[in-house]
Amino acid sequence: MAKTFGTRIAVFGIGFALVFGLAGIPAPAALDMYVGARTVVRNESLSSCNDKAKHALISVLGRAASYGDTGNWEGIGAIDTSGNSFAAAAVHCYPLDQVRGYVVTFTCAAQTPPATETAGVICDKLAAAFGGQP
């Protein structure tokens, strides 16, 4: 019993040292997340927001898709030879009846490296391509 207990302590000690030893090693890549602009647009239809979201995502990332009739749009960046993309963004269009318009938000992510732009840069480009910013 004492030998089993000693073995467990030794394994625990090695595992503990390994985990905390590896914690100091820098990661080869980082996931960069950014919540971009939130804008209220007055006297425009929700379909206008959806059109602008689709075109902004295509112009910045190259691809756009919606989740049915929800006002949620997703775009991904270029796909590498392994079928992976390292940049993505979402544009959300929500109706605001009190101003006869909508609110639009932008959320972006990038894995750096290999993505060449940060999530903040992607969101700024999306907001500019979307237009209608104050």
pLDDT 10s digits, 1-19: 556 666 666 666 566 556 6
**79 Cβ contact list (under 8 Å, min separation 6):** 85
15 DSSP assignment = H
Cα 66 to Cα 60: distance, rounded to the nearest angstrom: 16
Considering only residues 9 and 39, tell me which one the structure prediction assigns the higher pLDDT.
Answer: 39
Considering only residues 49 and 28, tell me which one the structure prediction assigns the higher pLDDT.
Answer: 49
18, containing H or E segment: helix 2-22
Choose the weakest-confidence range: 17-26, 32-41, 47-56, 58-67. 17-26
Span 101-107, mean pLDDT?
95
For the chain, count helices (H), then strands (E).
3, 5
Cα 5 to Cα 36: distance, rounded to the nearest angstrom: 54
pLDDT for 5: 61
The confidence band for 36, taking pLDDT boundaries of 50, 70 and 90, is: confident
